Amino acid sequence: MTESWQFWALVSAAFAALTAIFAKLGIAGINSDFATFIRTLVIIAALCLFLTISGQWQKTSDISAKSWLFLVLSGLATGASWIAYFRALKIGDAARVAPVDKLSIIMVAIFGVVFLGEKLSAINWAGVVMIAGGVILLTLKV
């Protein structure tokens, strides 16, 4: 089971859900950007420990220029996403902020098709539309 992408995607979703709840509780009384900084330090420390324990450190010289470029861009996008997410959590309800954040699923589907040449079937596109509808319903305050 731990060799399937589905397993790890579900683990990711579970931790992402906990992230929203823990972050909402953690940002009470502090600046959201500083909270993002603290979160980043914790992630760096945890990853250093994980890489050390698992023996997965690699030589940075073995990484191609293309990989460096896209990893740096990914890191910048992650940082911008985290800053925006924490600011949204500071202002809004976690139950509404998190679904809007997950509009990234729709964007990834579109970007994957446009930029990566990935193919989605009609049923896949129906799922994308349903996710968009779900986000709309979750953000309504009635």
Per-residue pLDDT tens over the stretch 14-71: 999 999 999 999 999 999 999 999 999 999 999 999 999 999 999 999 999 999 999 9
* Confidence at residue 1, expressed as pLDDT on a 0 to 100 scale: 80
* Confidence at residue 2, expressed as pLDDT on a 0 to 100 scale: 87
Residue 2 corresponds to which tokens in the numbers above? Answer: 């731990």
pLDDT tens for residues 62-106? 999 999 999 999 999 999 999 999 999 999 999 999 999 999 999
Rounded mean pLDDT of 115-135?
Answer: 97
Its pTM stands at 0.85
Can you give the residue ranges of every domain in the chain? 5-101
Alpha-carbon distance 34 to 26, whole Å?
11
- 43: amino acid identity, one letter: I
Please report which confidence band the pLDDT of residue 142 belongs to, taking 50, 70 and 90 as the band edges: confident
Q: Which residues of 60-81 are buried (b: 16+ CB within 10 A; e: fewer)?
A: eeeeeeeeeeeeeeeeeeeeee
On the question of pLDDT at 8 being above 90, the answer is yes
116: part of which helix (H) or strand (E)?
A: helix 104-116
Query: With contact defined as beta carbons under 8 Å apart, do 86 and 20 qualify?
Result: no
